[in-house]
Amino acid sequence: MAFIGLDENLNVQEDLIRYMVEAVLQKNKQELAMLERDVKPLENITKPFYKITHAEAVKKLKELGSDIKEGDDMGADDETILTKQYDNPIFVTHYPKEVKAFYMKRDPNDNARVLCADLLAPEGYGEIIGGSQREDNFDELLKRIKEHNLPQSAFEWYLDLRKYGSVPHGGFGFGLERITAWVCGIPHIRETIPFPRTINRLNP
């Protein structure tokens, strides 16, 4: 999305997830009943989503018994522990630069962190969306590629998008199977994949 900052990015994500969940609650009550899904947690979607920084998440996780360190990324176990403390989705923002992709823009107020967020679903489900502000400065982007020891030749096409000027922009990607698992109350993501790869089937 062009001409967008982190806050606007999160607003779009929140509106999207709220729309999706409300639509399912409205149109698929019968299916949710068949799955024996308790819909009360989903009805909380009308409330604003929580927002905490990565530093705040690490502090809370340590209090809950996790051995996570300040510069660590959050693993699935940490996400499960954290999301069981909330009754609504949580944005975890401003991760350390070391654990995020080179194209994420650095926080102008803290060069050690990037302008990003993961959206975690409650009830122990964890990450359903990952997004960030993108680096729009060509020189900074080239510098990040070198810092990450990536082959510049593989990213020439990406650099060309910034070479002659760009605009502030951001984006996100959501995991459809993860969202399905959470909304339907399914315990494992493998049960939500329409075309899983198994030892006996590679296609489609």
**pLDDT tens digits, 77-130:** 999 999 999 999 999 999 999 999 999 999 999 999 999 999 999 999 999 999
On average, the pLDDT of the chain sits at 95
| DSSP conformation class of 89 | -
Alpha-carbon separation of residue 204 from 46, 85, 125 (angstroms): 38, 39, 27
Residue 123's pLDDT is 94
Burial of 34 (0-12, 13-18, 19+ CB in 10 A): exposed
Residue range 26-39, pLDDT digits in tens: 999 999 999 999 99
Question: At 16, which helix (H) or strand (E)?
Answer: helix 6-27
Average pLDDT over residues 57-70: 95
Alpha-carbon separation of residue 61 from 100, 105, 141, 186, 198 (angstroms): 20, 26, 32, 25, 35
Q: What domains sit in the chain, N to C, each tagged with a CATH number?
A: 6-134+169-189 (3.30.930.10)
Average pLDDT over residues 133-154: 95
Q: Which residue has the higher pLDDT, 183 or 194?
A: 183
Amino acid at 194: P
Residue 195's pLDDT is 81
- 14 near 7, Cβ under 8 Å? no
Residue 203 has pLDDT above 80, yes or no: no
Residue 204 has pLDDT above 70, yes or no: no
Chain CA centroid to CA 125, Å: 12
Average pLDDT over residues 42-61: 96
